[in-house]
Amino acid sequence: MPPAPAANPLPDSRDLVATWNFLEEGVDHIMTRLSEGMSYSKYMNLYTVSYNYCTSSRMNSGGINETLGIGSTGGRSGANLMGSDLYKHLNTYFVNHLKEVRAAAEDLSDEPLLNYYTKEWDRYTTGASYVNRLFTYLNRHWVKREKDEGRKNVYVVYILALVQWKDHFYKHVQSKHKLTSAVLKLIEKQRNGETIESDLVKKVIDSFVALGLDEADTNRQNLEVYREAFEKPFLVATELFYKAESEQYIGTNSVTEYMKKAETRLTEEENRVDLYLHASTRKGLVSKCEEVLVKNHSPKMQEEFQRLLDQEQETDLHRMYLLLSRIPAGLDPLRERFEQHVKKAGLESVERSTGEASDAVEPKAYVDALLSVHKKNAELVTKAFRGDQGFVASLDRACREFVNRNKACATASKSPELLAKYADGLLKKSNKASEDADLEQSLTDTMTVFKYIEDKDVFQKFYSKMLSTRLIRATSASDDAEGNMISKLKDACGFEYTSKLQRMFQDMALNKDLNTQFKEKMSATHDASDLAVDFDVNVLGTSSWPLTVPPSDIKIPAELLKTYERFEAFYMHKHTGRKLTWLWQHSRNELRSLYTNQKYFMVTSTYQTVVLLQFNSSGDSLSYADLSVGTGINDDMLKGVLGLLCKQRVIDLKDGMYELNLGFKSKKIRVPLNAPIKSEVKAESADVMKHVDEDRKMLIQAVIVRIMKSRKELKHQVLISESIEQLKSRFKPGVSDVKKAIDALLEKEYLERVEGSRDMYRYLA
């Protein structure tokens, strides 16, 4: 048997022609027939031949370097120089190979061109990556040395392949924008609803990105090719497409339908970036679409806004908000219209709640009317406008306007007064909202309206007055609820605003101990028969409680006199030097009728008590003069008390004499006779406002002094502006009020005018 033929020996590393012939066949196989496969041994032989040649010590000729433009090699030898021959042959191979590729693309255009381009790109780049690994030693040593010495036109093998693709194929097929045009046509088809091969577009665009080679640093990529070849014409085409489509669509459809279309298109374009565009295009593409689809048609959308508000179309409002929020100042007209809409709705709601009787407004109906408008529009801001701060500010301005200036507010103080009465109703025992959760929500709602009240000092005065009444008459629903409300007011306005309210509670807590001590003292020193009157007293600090001296003094009846004297003696012994002023108008008594068939318990004011007890000692019929002398009550007060008792049929006026009604009957066993008189309620409101005015004058002066103390000298206009700014959290003072306060401080010598300057003030310590 003849011997087996010997395997083809590897070429001599000193023979360039033999070496390249061996390598070229392998490179061509990898570049053109990789799908057929290559044995591992053949690939390793190719790698070995490349390695051996690069490490051989044969002297390299300089002509090759000159041909490639690499530069003269001088007299260097060895591994430093042996790569240039292979590099030249590789370069020549890529150029010749791409001529064949280019020739096959001459007559192609549109989608066939894209199919051919992407197929060849995949084949070429895959092959180039394998060839790049085949010449690893060339890249690592010879190419690196050349680049380190500043040879800018020397690249690793894979980048060399891309450079030749760009110069000898890409530039040819792109010379008349054939590639770009084909890609843009596919994208337009997709925009028109046709199905396209998105992967085809992605591969072409990825090739544009890959060809963006940085000549200074091939490890760093730029997007010059991508932007010039695709992004710029793509954005121009996008603008033209959507400009034509949007104008046609909005001309034949409603604004709400157009908004849906625009929203869909914007989403599609953002998805397009993720699908096959470079991420850097997102900003420019979205900006261009927003300009064409939203900005150009924003006036029509803004005009539609009012109709959507009126019809409460929350979904469409949300869509409009999202669209117009994309463009500069797109939401400003909406915020202005929303503010006017809310203001109008608030005024109309108040008018409906008050009806014709605007002089006798029911607090609950009034506050509910305010809250209904705020709640509806606050939900709209949260849901449709995503809690946008601009819309929140518009809502606040509108609410502040209709809360403080509406049909029910004949004066600026009316709204805070009604809100205080509303809170009073919530916190009384008679409130039907017994559930803690319901009461908590109602108090939160109260604070919602309170936030918009301008004259918060007026609210404070009325609230303080009503709180004092609840505490004195023990009509509060719960101490926890009262404390909760005060805590909310403290959070909103600070400690100073609620300090007196908290001290009122402290006084009531001390009174419990005081009454216990008094009763224990009386029990220890007196017989039970001598303590017939059940007596409780509240001692209230003058500085904390909004109470005034009684409108009339009285002659204390014998039935009460002993207890009265004993308590005064007890208290004066306990607190030396203090003075007690008895507030008869706030006292309440309970009398038991012994003259009627049905025994009644009559709840009376102290003035009523003093009048009725006269009939115990002076008979069943008394003249006005007898009652006046016996009670010591002044005429104005006595006439009011007698009128109310007559109206309630407890006594009758016959022939100028006041007679006890022995036949008095009532459906209630416990009969409340101490109902407030309307004239008294009006007088009380006027009294509160009088105190408010007095407090404001002092507060304005205090603020001015505080400012001047820190600034020492200040101009007139600046002082007025700063004073108003500091006071606006409590109330909105007029300029004339501040001027009057400045004049008062000048008279009191807290301030003086700076000599030579009439509009400059100086603080006097």
Q: What is the pLDDT of residue 282?
A: 95
Domain boundaries 548-675, corresponding CATH code: 3.30.230.130
Separation CA 120–CA 126 (nearest Å): 10
DSSP 587: -
CB neighbours of 150 closer than 8 A, spacing ≥ 6?
Answer: none
Q: What is the pLDDT of residue 518?
A: 87
| Predicted structure pTM score | 0.77
Q: Quick one: CATH architecture of 16-109+116-151?
A: Up-down Bundle (1.20)
Q: What is the pLDDT of residue 65?
A: 41
- In which residue ranges of the chain is pLDDT below 70? 1-8, 57-81, 215-220, 356-359, 432-436, 527-532, 675-686, 765
Q: What is the pLDDT of residue 759?
A: 82
Q: What is the pLDDT of residue 216?
A: 62
Secondary structure of residue 753 in the 3-state scheme: strand
412-528 carries CATH number 1.20.1310.10: yes
Strands 670-672, 601-605: parallel, antiparallel or unpaired by DSSP? parallel
Query: Residue ranges of the alpha helices (H) in 290-331?
Result: 298-310, 314-324
What is the identity of the amino acid at 652? D
Domains of the chain by residue range: 16-109+116-151, 412-528, 548-675, 681-763
Separation CA 39–CA 55 (nearest Å): 25
Q: What is the pLDDT of residue 532?
A: 64
Separation CA 573–CA 585 (nearest Å): 26
Q: What is the pLDDT of residue 126?
A: 94
Q: What is the pLDDT of residue 75?
A: 40
Does 16-109+116-151 match 412-528 in CATH topology? yes
Which residue shows structure tokens 């406002």? Answer: 689
Neighbour-count burial for 236-255, b at 16+ CB within 10 Å, e otherwise: ebbeebbeebbeebbeeeeb
Fold of 681-763: Arc Repressor Mutant, subunit A (1.10.10)
Count of Cβ atoms closer than 10 Å to residue 641 Cβ: 25
